Amino acid sequence: MTEIIIAAVVVGGTGLLLGLFLSVMGKKFEVPVDEKELAVRAELPGNNCGGCGFAGCDALAKAIANGQAACGQCPVGGAPVAKKIAAIMGEDAGDVAKKVAFVKCAGDCEKAPVKYEYTGVQDCSVMPFMPDGGAKTCTFGCMGFGSCVKVCEFDAIHIENGIAKVDRDKCKACGKCVAACPRHLIDLIPYDNKYAVSCASKAKGKEVISSCKVGCIACHMCEKSCEYDAVHVVDDIAIIDYEKCVNCGKCAEKCPRKIILLQGEKPVVKKEA
């Protein structure tokens, strides 16, 4: 019996001594941790998805506390989390808008013809090595092999009828598909903006007409119709400035190709004369 007690005392005593030593040293070598950082970390969702561009929720909390990141940097938490964090940081979260991924291509199987039958590896990244940069006639558009689908952790992007489509309700705007698209077709746009250009072709008008029924031909009609200076044609492609856009829909009305789409609506193909 005494043996057991002695053993317990020895082990327990060692532990106690070391514990005391550590607590004393802990005080001595204390590193002040920013209280804001802890508070911010507590509000973050904790998925550690990396969608914010930092190594994880801890790293983002540190960056926000240091002022290196915006309060609304967390794409998963969205506006509610941004608000709480802003309250902690004493900032106004007013300008944090919910974003959503948007694929700048509407050339699905019917609208954009293919040059040849492709039966090789089903991945977007190999297409640049195929003859003519892939089977699709348009060399700017969505190839539909789903590199974006594979990286999406929220099941929010799918290939429908040959092109990628974003499920706007499921999308958390983490930006992984944006990085995955070899043709840089996916943008994060404000959720509340109703109009976006569903084309990314920088080809000249004539070329576009021959390769896709719904491509931007850089006719400048949208630019002329916009009263708010929000649409501009740069490099033969119309680009909407989402901050200036007031969702009036005039550009969409004027667009002869009907590619400035109300989100979620199908493009209307002009009947051939």
Partner 1 sequence: MVKLLIIAISAALVNNVVLSRFLGLCPFLGVSKQIKTAAGMGAAVIAVVTVSSAICSLIYDAVLVPLDLVYLNTIVFILVIAALVQFVEMVLKKNSPSLYEALGVYLPLITTNCCVLGTALTNVQDNYNFIEAVVNGIGTSVGFLIAIVIMAGIREKIEYNDIPESFKGMPIVLLTAGLMSIAFFGFSGIL
State the minimum distance, in angstroms, from the CB of residue 29 to partner 1. 4
If the CB atoms of residues 25 and 179 are measured against partner 1, the closer one turns out to be 25
Residue 12 or 46 having the CB closest to partner 1: 12
- Token pair 């992984």: residue: 176
Secondary structure tally for the chain: helices H, strands E: 9, 8
Q: How many residues bind partner 1 (CB under 8 A)?
A: 16
Q: Tell me the residue type at 183.
A: R
Contact region for partner 1 (CB under 8 A) — 1-9, 110-118, 131-139, 263-271? 1-9
Q: Which residue, 6 or 179, has its beta carbon nearer to partner 1? A: 6
List the interface residues with partner 1, window 4-63 (CB under 8 A): 6-7, 10-11, 14-15, 18-19, 21-22, 25-26, 29-31
Q: What angle do CA 154, 124, 152 make, to 5 degrees?
A: 5
Q: Which residue, 19 or 128, is less far from partner 1 as judged by CB?
A: 19
Q: How far is the CB of 60 from partner 1 (least distance, A)?
A: 15
Residues 105-134 binding partner 1 (CB under 8 A) are none
- Give the shortest CB-11-to-partner 1 separation in angstroms: 6
CA distances from 187 to 171, 176, 181, 269 (A): 12, 11, 10, 24
Interface characters, 70-109, with partner 1 (x: CB under 8 A): ----------------------------------------
Alpha carbons within 13 A on the beta-carbon side of 72: 15
When asked if residue 67 is in the footprint of partner 1 (CB under 8 A), the reply is no
| Strands (DSSP E) found in the chain | 99-103, 157-160, 163-166, 186-190, 195-197, 231-234, 237-240, 260-262
Q: Which CB, 129 or 228, lies closer to partner 1?
A: 129
CB nearer partner 1, residue 21 or residue 228 = 21
DSSP string over 159-219:
EETTEEEE-TTT-----HHHHH-TT--EEEEETT--EEE-----S-HHHHHHH-TT-----
Task: Kindly list the distances between the CA atom of residue 148 and the CA atoms of 52, 63, 93, 158, in Å, as whole numbers in the listed order.
Answer: 17, 28, 30, 8
- Minimum CB separation of residue 89 from partner 1 in Å reads 23
Q: Which is nearer to partner 1, 7 or 114 (CB)?
A: 7
Nearest distance in Å: CB 3, partner 1: 8
59 φ/ψ angles, rounded to the nearest 5 degrees: -65, -40
Q: Which residues bind partner 1 (CB under 8 A)?
A: 3, 6-7, 10-11, 14-15, 18-19, 21-22, 25-26, 29-31
